[in-house]
Structure 1
Amino acid sequence: MNDYVLLTDSSADLTDELVQTLGIEVLPLSFHIQNKTYWNWPDNREMDPGDFYRMLREGEMATTSAVNVADYTEKMTPYLQAGKDVLVMAFSSGLSATCHSARIAAQELMEQFPERKVYVVDTLCASLGQGLLVWYAARLKNEGKSIEEVRDWTEENKLRLCHWFTVDDLHFLKRGGRISPATAVLGTMLSIKPVMHVDDEGHLIKVGTARGRNASLKALVDHMEETAIDPAEQTVFISHGDCEADANKVAEDVKRRFGVKSVVINHVGPVIGAHSGPGTVALFFMGSRR
């Protein structure tokens, strides 16, 4: 029986068009800027990403909040009451408490609805890395795979979902404690750009540096060359912090170097963008390892 709902959260940074096409449900995370709280919906109904990044460039600070247990319970209960099961694909537990909330809600709801199934996958992914894993899962669901088959596939393959990204402004990583103030100052002076990825525990880690913007964008694609499996046949996802031209440059590079035919590009949403800042570019694909 294929009567189940695929639920993720807005950290997946999927476009509203993809959300509708895939037939998935999305719980929004919230962000706070200029003394007001907004919900990060896929259709950007409460704030356009361009306006959000303009505020950051003007010096505004943004904070974010995870999805809580009550949010998950409220979202899932009507589906369970209607006789549907739920598969949750949550934002990395290494970066947010969202997955923990999902698991608590799932346990409580399974006690309330013992005849129903509620599974939670800790994607250990972020931004369109999470989005790409959800994209694969939704395709399997729409092909008729059972909730257990989709859950098992995502668990078996999530650590092959590669995340590579770079940022243009080190200030935001410094503020989040990802790099030291001294590194941020020196890096800015020398135009040093960090090259980072999400590791097997779902944490954001720095793995290298590049001198200048173009070199950092090329480094993302170089890492893809090292681990990508059959890249010409993949759909590649790229997210960006209000720098679409740079995202397009990376897209053209992966098409030229690997024969990739399908690339999906979208903004890094405000929830992650609050910590990575304007000028972030991230590349996501399936590889032999992260």
Structure 2
Amino acid sequence: MSYKIIIDSCGELTEAMKADEHFGSAALTLYVDDHTIVDDETFDQHQFLKLVAESPNCPKSACPSPESFRDKFDCGADHVYAVTLSSELSGSYNSAELGKNLFLEEHPEKKAYVFNSRSASVGETLIGLKIQECEEAGMAFEEVVEQVEAYIEKQNTWFVLESLETLRKNGRLSHMKAILATALKIKPVMTATPEGTIEQLAQARGMNKALVKMTDAIVEYVGQDQDRILALSHCNCPQRAEMVRDELNRRLHLKDIIVVDTAGVSSMYANDGGIIAVV
């Protein structure tokens, strides 16, 4: 095996990626009060959302250790890549960089690189698929890095939240503003900045109107550059994701639209009913 792609568990692996030996995952750990949940194949979304809903406290996450990343890099492949959620949102990128350096000290003949997705969730998924596309095309390691970094520069992320509770619990939104927004059924449409931070793009009264605004923003962003893959992840709302997918298919002619359910970390950020889109 000449290459391996490690995606931290904020990035969802499709069923095809799970079955492909070229892909692996580095699990983050989630904490809800005194409950510890490993974000791997044992993650139970229904139980996690129940714990979050019942807790007055904000759920927390911890990134994989540098040593665990080092062990993931040490997989026998000549080229190893890691993809992490935005360094502005987590310490996962820094941990992966330290793990990469530990690995290269022990194996100086290997090549390894860590991509800061400046995104999360299916943004990482798409980056992983882009790395594979470049590797399968026979590109040199340095060319893969260059091509994928250019891809990340062009990528954008949007999401709509059903609930503002997690934002309120972690101090990003005042209690009064959260109550007012909930009472008025205000749903924010959020986007990622080029640096990988989060900002509000728009808001709407009601989830459907917010999803329309998000879809409009995606269509405007894509424009004529439609030879690309879009990915949607949803937190426990498959019909909502299918509705967005169908509307995007109607208005755009993309190469593909991938739809997945959120894994642990993305479920923590999106909360029950949230939708994330990346292209």
TM-score, structure 2 normalization: 0.91
Letter in 1 for 2:263: G
What's the offset of the Cα at 1:109? 2.4
What is the rounded CA distance, in whole Å, between the counterparts of 2:247 and 2:221 in structure 1? 16
Match of 1:288 in 2: none
What's the offset of the Cα at 1:231? 5.8
Match of 2:181 in 1: 187
Match of 1:30 in 2: 29
Letter in 2 for 1:73: R
Other structure's SS at 2:126 match: helix
* Structure 2 CA distance for partners of 1:97 and 1:193, relative to 1, 3 Å: same
What is the rounded CA distance, in whole Å, between the counterparts of 1:59 and 1:116 in structure 2? 46
Letter in 1 for 2:18: V
What's the offset of the Cα at 1:24? 1.3
What's the offset of the Cα at 1:59? 4.4
Letter in 1 for 2:22: G
Are the aligned partners of 1:33 and 1:60 in contact in 2 as well (CA < 8 Å)? no
Residue pairs, 1:33-182, within 5 angstroms: 33=32, 35-41=34-40, 45-59=41-55, 62-77=59-74, 79=75, 82=76, 84-182=78-176
What is the rounded CA distance, in whole Å, between the counterparts of 2:179 and 2:256 in structure 1? 38
Q: Which deviations, in whole Å up to 9, do the C-alpha atoms of 1:61-99 show, x marking residues without a partner?
A: 63211111111112223x3xx462312222210111000
Confirm or deny that 1:246 pairs with 2:246: no
What is the rounded CA distance, in whole Å, between the counterparts of 2:154 and 2:226 in structure 1? 16
Letter in 2 for 1:270: G
Match of 2:4 in 1: 5
Aligned residues between the structures? 278
What's the offset of the Cα at 1:107? 1.9
Farther off after superposition, 187-196 or 229-238: 229-238
Letter in 1 for 2:142: E
What is the rounded CA distance, in whole Å, between the counterparts of 1:154 and 1:261 in structure 2? 18
Match of 2:13 in 1: 14
Letter in 2 for 1:9: D
Farther off after superposition, 68-77 or 32-41: 32-41
TM superposition outliers: structure 1 runs of 4+ over 6 Å: none
What's the offset of the Cα at 1:256? 1.1
Other structure's SS at 1:11 match: coil
Are the aligned partners of 1:196 and 1:208 in contact in 2 as well (CA < 8 Å)? yes
What's the offset of the Cα at 1:232? 4.7
What's the offset of the Cα at 1:58? 4.3
What's the offset of the Cα at 1:262? 2.5
Letter in 2 for 1:75: K
Letter in 2 for 1:53: L
What is the rounded CA distance, in whole Å, between the counterparts of 1:95 and 1:262 in structure 2? 28
Letter in 1 for 2:219: E
Q: In percent, how many aligned pairs have the same letter?
A: 24
Letter in 2 for 1:236: L
Unaligned runs of 5+ in 2: none
What is the rounded CA distance, in whole Å, between the counterparts of 1:159 and 1:283 in structure 2? 16
Other structure's SS at 2:156 match: strand
Other structure's SS at 1:92 match: coil
* Structure 2 CA distance for partners of 1:60 and 1:272, relative to 1, 3 Å: farther
What's the offset of the Cα at 1:221? 0.7
TM-score, structure 1 normalization: 0.88
Unaligned runs of 5+ in 1: 286-290
